[in-house]
Amino acid sequence: MMSATPRCLLAVGSLHHDLMIDAPHLPRRGETVTGYRWYPKFGGKGGNQAVAAARAGCSVRMLGAVGDDDFAALLRATLEREHIDTCRVATLPDRPTGMSVAISDAQGDYGAVIVSGANLAIDAGQLADEALWDGVGWLLLQNEVEPELNLAAAREAARRAVPVCLNAAPARDLDEALGALIDVLIVNALEAGALCGRPVDGAADGLAAAMALAATFRTVIVTLGGAGVVVVTRNASARHLPAVPIQVHSTHGAGDTFTGVLCAGLLSGQDIDTAVRAANALAARHVAGESVA
């Protein structure tokens, strides 16, 4: 039987050492662009969302993996500084730490390339350990790990009646078995379009995509950047929340901030609309370049 320890969020996902580059625009095919600056940054959707949840006041436990290299030091130091439980973050000597290169342009948009490394070798066998689930109130997943790991984690969560949030990013086909275990699906316009097989451009398209996805998922949230957020739950009408007016600094990491803050709200007992409003506000501050610590 699980102990009565305070509930926490279990984040099963990726950890990346990001190399960030600021440039006037994203390079076109065959083009070399002269950038303004570069800097290292903690990253990975799993790690970013875990940090966002922790900063929102949530107790977070991380299950992931890094390599035995210099990149891993930044990742572990950041998780520990944010008071995230890293006991299940393995060091894999035969795999490099995951990394990415992200380029932000003058308008705040970005493009990125990830190299997954150790994130594709996370040991799913850890999921059967009851101690891992002690006090867990929500499970958070993303698509930067192997699909089999997400399915195994969702099945273990279902065995314990732990609700599951999936940020289906990057976009990829989702197994029907996994879809049946998801309580909250979060996607952006590009990912919603990939899952629905139709383009999503603006609030009306977002509403249509969310309604279509709600036939499979219990709750669907589609983030639309400047067009706001759409929420659809079964047996409830669709809702559209306008974007918070801000001056865009960088959109990099906005979705991760939204997802982490949303899960922190749900864990604290907020209803879905309250949690979405809080997540939308904090994501807007992140895009504006404000500290959300």
C-beta atoms surrounding 30 within 10 Å: 5
Burial of 31 (0-12, 13-18, 19+ CB in 10 A): exposed
Is 85 assigned a catalytic role?
Answer: no
Chain center to CA of 193: 18
Residue spans of alpha helices (H) in 97-249? 147-159, 176-179, 189-196, 203-213
Work out the end-to-end distance of the chain between its first and last CA atoms, rounded to an integer number of angstroms: 35
Q: In the numeric block, which tokens belong to residue 13?
A: 């996902």
- DSSP for residue 28: P
Nearest-angstrom CA–CA distance, 131 and 129: 5
Catalytic residue among 123, 201, 256, 273: 256
Nearest to residue 183, comparing CAs of 229, 142, 217? 217
Nearest-angstrom CA–CA distance, 220 and 244: 20
Nearest-angstrom CA–CA distance, 239 and 70: 46
Q: Where are the beta strands (DSSP E) in 5-159?
A: 8-12, 16-22, 37-43, 60-67, 85-92, 98-104, 110-115, 136-142
Which residues are catalytically annotated?
Answer: 256
